[in-house]
Structure formats: structure tokens, C-alpha cells
Structure 1
Amino acid sequence: MTFVLASASPARLATLRSAGLDPVVVVSGVDESVLDGLPAADLALGLARLKCDAVAERAGSTGSEVPADALVLGCDSVLELDGRALGKPHSPAEAVARWEAMRGRTGVLRTGHHLRDLASGRSTGATASTTVHFAQVSDAEIAAYVATGEPLHVAGAFTVDGLGGAFVTGIEGDHHNVVGVSLPLLRELTAALGRSWTDLWARP
């Protein structure tokens, strides 16, 4: 069975590989701005479905990396803070402003998951939510962190598996979800489609 990840995220790919999967990465190229204005949980799930469907539609076409019987996963993450859905910052100035607003506070990282079984035509999806507590970082630490460029490429302008890990004092919920994909939720979605999670493990 081919498992296709409809995401360019290196962190998602690494997480799935560490869990025994060997995904084929096919970037969706969807315009994420089409769903602006939705609540954070709905936005994350909506974008995940857009990515999944865009890649699934390529199955069977000439030269496509997507087999006709593949499982396709789309994911998208946003940080909810003060009722707003925050994706990747568009500039260093925006990343600094984000951290000035986040420091010493708590947000909720929401990751939408949409899984489609091309063999059966069935699909399912859900959003996983993890509470994240941020450290009371200084202006100098924010400036140094943003200067590394890391916050510019991730939802919420932070990581827990990189340089930003020292600025997160705790989480409540699935750690993998903060990295970009909730493994427990993905296992449940796989079962909902009648597939076995352990069958997805790559075999030697």
C-alpha cells in the first residue's frame, strides 16, 4: 500500500517515518488564502481537505506519483490565539509581533487531518488540538530566534522540535500534533476507513 503525504513539511515527513511509515511526498500547491476568515479548527481541517483532494485528483494520470489505490493524507496546522487563526508569518516583522503577543501566554495548536482511500473512494477527517504554553521570552531572544529564519516557515511561528523548543514551557495533548501530524488521530482515521495502522508500516 502506498501512503502519500500531501504536504511539503519536513517535520511531518520525519514524524511519519519515525512511526514506521515511508510516505511518498506530493506537494498539493493549493492556494491557502481561499479559506481565510474561518475559525481556526475549521480552517485547519478545510485546508487539509483541499490539499488531500488536490493530490488525490492526480491519481492515475500520466507520470503521476499517486497510485490509484493509495492512501492520501492532507494536513494543515494553525495556532489559535485570542480567537484568531495564525499560520506562517509573512515576514520577520510579523514573526516578532507574534512572539510579543504569545510570550508568557497559552495558545491552541490545531492540526487538520484529511485521509482519502483511493481504492474505496472513502475519506474521513478531523482536527486535533493541543494546548501550548509559551515562555516569557525576552526581546533579545525573540530577535535572535526570528533572525534564524525558523519561525517564518512554521504555523504559529514556533517549533517544539527545533530551536523554538526552549521557548515552550509545556503542552497539554499530543506532542506529535504540535510537530504537524497527530499519530493517534491518524491511526483512528485509518481504522475508520477499514485499514490497519500496522499495515502502513514499511517492511524491510
Structure 2
Amino acid sequence: MKLILASASPRRIELLTLAGYAFDVQATDTDETQLPQEAPEAYVRRVALAKAQSVVTCEPALILGADTTVVLDGECLGKPGDAEAATHMLHRLSGRSHEVLTGVAIRRSTDAVCRVTHERTLVTFDDLPAAWIADYVASGEPFGKAGAYAIQGRAGTRITRIEGNYHNVVGLPMASVIRLLDELRLLDEPRS
């Protein structure tokens, strides 16, 4: 069965490719606004599922949606809209631990059966000097990334501790993805 990634994220594309999957990419225009009073876990799961459900295909396919957010003091830090927002986020993350949550949803197009999960990783930054933050923001790397950083980029050199799945912080917890894909494929196998 064909696999479709409901995202144009270069990081997610790279992780699926490294895992050996052949897949198509169909980016979605899903509203990623967090609902009032919505818990971070519920938020990433809901958005991942909305992405998986938004892809339309006539072929039998497994459609993968994912959404990642950074959580600090119970607040979701999404993608910064400008340099000021990125700078503010990085100052808040400096010298502290935070959670990275990724929701993963896979929908089977033939019968709309879905599997949804999320993964949590704890990440700790070293103290980030103001000059480093300014230089990092000027590099452009924080934009388009939850929490204003990319662990696989320059910010990774300032992380002192990670507890959990590294690929989750990159944006796609591959062990969870593989498990859900296997579950959905097993449902297709005839029972004796």
C-alpha cells in the first residue's frame, strides 16, 4: 500500500527516506492553531490527525500526519513569526529543560481507520548568551521550527541533555511511526 506524507517538512522527508520508505509528499494547509484550554498532548494529536485526514487520494494508501511543539511551563511554543518572537523563545529556553511533543497519525484511505499517538522528549539547553541567540536568530535557522530551534542544526551544540527519542525532537519519532504502520498493515492480513 502506498505511503503518503502529509507534510513538506524537509526533516520528516529525510527521516522517512533514511528509514528506507518510498512515499509521496502531499503538503496540507491544516490550521495549527491551539484551541483554548487544549492540553499540549491533545493539541499535537488533533493537528496530526487533521493533517492525515486532509489528504485525498483515489489509491489505497497509508497517510501520515505529524505535528511537533515545544512545551515550556505548560505553554506550547510554536514556530516564531519573526526575529523578536524567536529571540524571546530562546531566552526563555536558556538554561532550562522543556518538553518536545510530536503527535503522529496514520490513516488508511481504504476504510478511514486511523491510529494516533504522541511522543514526549525532555530537552535541556545550556545557558545561551544573548550574543549567541542574536547570531543564531540572524542565521535564519529558528524560523519554521517549533520553539525556534533545530536540534539537528547549530542549536544542537547548546543542548546539554536529552531524555527520550532524538528523532521526536527532529520532528518524526520513527519508532512510533513504524509501529503504527505495522499495526495498520496487520489489520489488512487475512485471518485464518
Q: What's the % identity of the aligned pairs?
A: 34
Q: Deviations over 1:38-90 (max 9, x none)?
A: 211111111101111011xx212xxxxxxx21110000000010000111011
In the TM superposition, residue 151 of structure 1 has moved relative to its aligned partner by 0.6
Which letter does structure 2 place at the counterpart of 1:85? C
- The partner residue of 1:94 within 74, 85, 93 is 85
TM superposition shift of 1:194: 3.2
Residue by residue over 1:22-46, the C-alpha shift from the partner in whole angstroms, topping out at 9 and shown as x without a partner, is: 2211011112226454211111111
Q: Is the 8 A contact 1:88 1:155 kept in 2?
A: yes
The TM-score with structure 1 as length reference comes to 0.87
Shift of 1:100: 0.7
Q: 3-state DSSP class of the match of 2:120?
A: strand
Residue 121 (structure 1) aligned with residue 112 (structure 2): yes
Distance 1:150 1:3 in 2: 29
Aligned to 1:49: 49
Say whether residues 1:174 and 2:165 are aligned partners. yes
1:195, 1:183 → 2: CA distance?
A: 18
Change (3 A) 1:193 1:165: same
- Deviation string 1:74-119 (CA, Å, 9 cap, x unpaired) is 0000001000011101111011000111000000000000001113
The answer to whether structure 1 residue 13 and structure 2 residue 13 are counterparts is yes
CA RMSD of aligned residues (A): 1.5
Gaps of at least 5 residues in structure 2 are: 188-192
Please say which of residues 159-168 and 129-138 is displaced more in the overlay. 159-168
Q: Aligned partner of 2:22: which letter?
A: D
Structure 1: segments with no counterpart, 5+ residues: 61-67, 197-204
Q: Secondary structure at the match of 2:185?
A: coil
Encode CA deviations 1:137-160: one digit per residue, 9 max, x unaligned.
100000000011111111111111
Alpha-carbon distance in 2 for matches of 1:173, 1:34: 24
Amino acid aligned to 2:51: K
In 1: Cα distance, 2:71 partner to 2:156 partner: 18
Note the C-alpha offset of 1:192: 2.3
Residue 34 of structure 2 contacts residue 43 of structure 2 at CA under 8 Å; is this kept in 1? no
Asked whether the 8 Å contact 1:39–1:85 carries over to 2, the reply is no
Residues in 2 aligned to 1:124 and 1:192: alpha-carbon distance in whole angstroms: 8
d(CA) in 2 for partners of 1:95, 1:146: 7
| Partners of 1:153 and 1:163 in 2: CA distance | 15
Q: State the Cα deviation string for residues 145-184 of structure 1 (Å, max 9, x = none).
A: 0011111111111111112211212211111111111111
101-110 or 180-189: bigger deviation = 180-189
Matched length: 187
Matches within 5 A, 1:28-177: 28-33=28-33, 35=35, 37-55=37-55, 58-60=56-58, 68-177=59-168
Give TM-score scaled by structure 2 length: 0.92
